[in-house]
Structure 1
Amino acid sequence: MTLSASPAASGTAATTRRPLDPRLLAVAGSLCIALSPILIALSGTSPGTATVFRCLLALPVLVPMALLERRRTRAAVDAPRGRPWLVVVGGLLLGLDMTLWTGAIHAVGAGVSTVLVNVQVVILPLLAFLVLGERVRPSFLLAVPVMLGGVALAGGLADGGGDAADPVLGTVLALLAAVAYAGYLLLLRVGSAPGEKSGPVTLATAAAAVSSFVLGSLWEGVDLTPGWTAIGWLAVLALIGQCMGWVLIAGGMARLPSSTGASILLLQPVGAVVLGMLVLGQFPTAWQLAGCVVVIGAVAFAARRRVEPSPEDAVAS
């Protein structure tokens, strides 16, 4: 007598949901983070103050999410475990990145600072090649010059940089932030276990609060009573830019090659331009609009096909 699969089993298999495309997660996270320079400017706080409050106000939301995720992953006995110490180191770098970038926003402007910090698009794949031995696809190498040119246009560099308060200092701060940013993204990917999103972001955010407080205390100070208006803007920044943005990016980057993920993150300056129009009434020039089009086209070219990291890459140390 031949046994056939039960209708329940067949229905279960048929209704199994496919995971979301990691590129969509990374795009959504990038657009959330694109709000960051606008909210930071509206808060009117120092670099250390903005970053410390951004992290602390995000933790009450992130911690329950991390606990729920941990309860779910504990059920899988054979599930691979992450390396939390790598996530902590990455979080320390994240605190440096956000504090330095906030300083760059004040010194050189939101658009140009966002352009400069996105040189991580080159630094991240280079680090992945050196640390993980991950190969860089030829299509990415072809798209990099186009992407960087488009980001430069979108940030307003073609217009001379505007009335920046201190363009030299702002450039240095943004470039240092880019190095820290790339290090954070790589360590978050290497240190997180498969399926983890909220837990690593929560741990990294707590570590970022520590490093940003130390750096901020030494540089322009940390104001623990910035006022309710500033706290309100920073709370919105924590919810959208920190909780939603980084969790979405963590979920997407874990299943994407570093070059593809870094390319998608270049949508941040484009999103900043669009949101600046909608929120602050800052209408871009024709050069900036052209840059937006170039960036979107280059990102679509570099990320047109998803390639999962190989098992060897995923476990390399």
Structure 2
Amino acid sequence: MRVDGDSQDCQGDIPLRSRPAGNSAAPEHHRGYDQGPEQGHEPCHGTGHDQRFLTRLATPVTLVIGGSACISLSAIFVKLSDVNAGTAAFLRCALALLLLAPLAAVELRRLGPRARRPVLTDLAAGLLLGVDFVFWAASIRDVGASIATVLLNIQVLVFPLLARLLTRTPLPRGFWLTAPVLLAGVALAGGAIGDPEPGSSPVSGILYGTAAGVAFAGYLFLTRLAGTAPAPSTPSRARGHIAVPVCTATFSAGIASGVLGALWTGIDPTPGPAALGWLAAMAALGQVLALLLITPALPRLAPATGAALLLLQPVLAIATAVAFIGERPTATQYAGCVLVIATVWYATRVGAARGAETSALRSTGRG
């Protein structure tokens, strides 16, 4: 929670900076949050206590957990909307922009514009995100909301390969050992090996889910490039954009999903009130709120902790799909889900340990 010198109190709503010299109350940011109100200055109906409570509640861990819970509902909302893949992908972007655009405008006024290069990178990343949205929605229709969310974790293999090919980043330790295990888990979870859920289409579902994971890995790779820390000479007001890059990527994702959806499945701009409501809920929770919660929280967590918390997404997606929309994955599909999640957890733990080891070597002059 941001508290600055322009904050107002409840005594006439007078900005602290504009008080007369005789009123010597110090700005809030000059006092610790755990200290009580100044002597002779009564709290405003418990406002200070409420702010301290919210500050303690909104920790990086709770923000990532909340964002993961929001994302885990996305596949259910897409399935409940009962529209084709192109319509689901395009409308989720259009509806999300209605919320993101005002937030981005406020952020631009407060922080100033972003540099040209990251904006172009965000636009390119958004094109891949739009492709991901279309194929992921198609996968949901073929293998269900729970399994489609698990299949998206194929990006854990694709992302290091992209980094290796494009930036010559060394592959994580054990990559070639975890890759076949993850692929086996994907095949089991999707139903290509073992018993698929009755009524599903495992082959096409896995293909669409894999395509979505590849596109999503490309999106993550480009957003990582766009999020490179600015040079030391960059003014601090130009840092810290959250809504702007998400809005930029969502805009180009809408273009990509609109073109791909129109060419492949067609797009219904008026799918009906019920379908529109489910897609609006998905855009608000799974796209806008989730990203606004997770984006500022992850950099404040250790990599291993953040990666482990993000694995709540497929776990919660399976639980909610089984509980609320009656999906019934088979025993072999559950085994595949466990295998995928365990492999992703192991890969991220190893990658985090390797990053910490590299940082330690660099700090001693050996890197």
Q: Distance in 1 between matches of 2:273 and 2:152?
A: 29
Structure 1 residue aligned with 2:9: none
Between 1:267-276 and 1:91-100, the stretch displaced more is 267-276
Q: Which amino acid aligns with 2:267?
A: V
Q: 1:179 aligns with which of 214, 221, 227?
A: 214
Q: Which amino acid aligns with 1:218?
A: L
Q: Which amino acid aligns with 2:157?
A: V
Q: Distance in 2 between matches of 1:13 and 1:146?
A: 48
Q: Shift of the alpha carbon at 1:224?
A: 0.9
Structure 2 residue aligned with 1:69: 107
With the length of structure 1 as denominator, give the TM-score of the two structures.
0.76
Structure 1 residue aligned with 2:259: 214
With the length of structure 2 as denominator, give the TM-score of the two structures.
0.67
For the structure 1 residues 117 and 302, does the alpha-carbon distance in structure 2 shift closer, same or farther, using more than 3 Å as the test? Answer: closer
Between 1:284-293 and 1:214-223, the stretch displaced more is 284-293
Confirm or deny: 8 A CA contact 2:78 2:88 kept in the other structure: yes
Between 1:55-64 and 1:266-275, the stretch displaced more is 266-275
Q: State whether structure 2 residue 199 is matched by structure 1 residue 199.
A: no
Q: 2:130 aligns with which of 95, 106, 119?
A: 95
Q: Deviations over 1:65-92 (max 9, x none)?
A: 2223223323xx9x98861011001101
For the structure 1 residues 20 and 127, does the alpha-carbon distance in structure 2 shift closer, same or farther, using more than 3 Å as the test? Answer: farther
Between 1:30-39 and 1:255-264, the stretch displaced more is 255-264
Larger radius of gyration: 2
Confirm or deny: 8 A CA contact 1:151 1:266 kept in the other structure: no
How many residues are paired up? Answer: 300
Q: Which runs of 5+ in 2 are unaligned?
A: 1-25, 36-51, 230-239, 360-367
Structure 2 residue aligned with 1:273: 318
SS of equivalent residue, structure 1 residue 161: coil
Structure 1 residue aligned with 2:91: 53
Confirm or deny: 8 A CA contact 1:58 1:242 kept in the other structure: yes
Q: Which amino acid aligns with 1:199?
A: V
Q: Shift of the alpha carbon at 1:9?
A: 8.4
Pick 1 or 2: higher relative contact order, CA cutoff 8 A, min separation 6. Answer: 1
Between 1:263-272 and 1:83-92, the stretch displaced more is 263-272
Structure 1 residue aligned with 2:38: none
Q: Shift of the alpha carbon at 1:64?
A: 2.0
Confirm or deny: 8 A CA contact 1:124 1:258 kept in the other structure: no
CA RMSD in angstroms comes to 4.0
Q: State whether structure 2 residue 201 is matched by structure 1 residue 163.
A: no
For the structure 1 residues 244 and 46, does the alpha-carbon distance in structure 2 shift closer, same or farther, using more than 3 Å as the test? Answer: same
Q: Which runs of 5+ in 1 are unaligned?
A: 1-5, 311-317
Q: Deviations over 1:5-54 (max 9, x none)?
A: x9x98745999989954x76555433322212211111010111111111
For the structure 1 residues 249 and 125, does the alpha-carbon distance in structure 2 shift closer, same or farther, using more than 3 Å as the test? Answer: farther
Between 1:291-300 and 1:166-175, the stretch displaced more is 291-300
Q: Shift of the alpha carbon at 1:155?
A: 5.8
Q: Distance in 2 between matches of 1:150 and 1:31?
A: 23
Q: Shift of the alpha carbon at 1:277?
A: 2.7
Q: State whether structure 2 residue 78 is matched by structure 1 residue 33.
A: no
